[in-house]
Chain A
Amino acid sequence: AQSVTQLGSHVSVSEGALVLLRCNYSSSVPPYLFWYVQYPNQGLQLLLKYTSAATLVKGINGFEAEFKKSETSFHLTKPSAHMSDAAEYFCAVSEMNTGFQKLVFGTGTRLLVSP
């Protein structure tokens, strides 16, 4: 069965610092992987997705993630944090046996950015 682990329910960084949000997955077949962001009072917005093409995926707002099969990881990074990045971030996985329709989420990581 698929599962996603996000280490750290809260991550705090200073503005301008590197952002690193960790995601490890468990899947019996090659997965699709996603990062979503939720700003206050808004729905989840797709940041980026991995669909078995390039292992380094670039998303919106300067975020990127690297698929590492050997480590079963899909960590999200951004070189320089901005105050507007403060939000909750969710990693998710889907598999071919569900037609890639059913997303399995991690518990989320809240990113706090201080001036």
Chain B
Amino acid sequence: EAGVTQFPSHSVIEKGQTVTLRCDPISGHDNLYWYRRVMGKEIKFLLHFVKESKQDESGMPNNRFLAERTGGTYSTLKVQPAELEDSGVYFCASSLGQLQQYFGPGTRLTVT
């Protein structure tokens, strides 16, 4: 069974540019989550989809971040325009039920 995949693995962009991160969850997992880890700090929850609906987006930092999950399959997280403080590792996870979230390898975003 394929795990959670994320693309790209690394992205380096300049401040003010736009970046789109993609996450493909495990097939059949209705729940999809985005988390972010800023260097040296804890991994923080961004938002949670159930199928294509946003269940909880309480962790989204500001309106420069837009997450979508069209059709309830893969998800994208767009940052527009990117700022220096957006640098970090963005993790995606998916789950079938409540208890176990399966994480992808993350996308390392560097904003210069």
Contacts and interface: CB of A to CB of B under 8 A. Distances in A.
Contacts of B55: 101
Given A43-B3, A43-B91, A44-B91, A104 B103 contact: no
Interface residues of A, number: 24
Of listed B33, B44, B98, residue having the most chain A CB within 10 A: B98
Interface string B44-56: 1100100000011
Contacts of B101: 46, 103
A60 B56 CA distance: 31
Given A41-B105, A44-B103, A106-B42, 13 more contacts: A43-B3, A44-B43, A46-B100, A98-B56, A101-B31, A101-B33, A101-B56, A103-B33, A103-B35, A103-B45, A105-B35, A105-B42, A107-B40
Interface residues of B, number: 28
B99 A102 contact: no
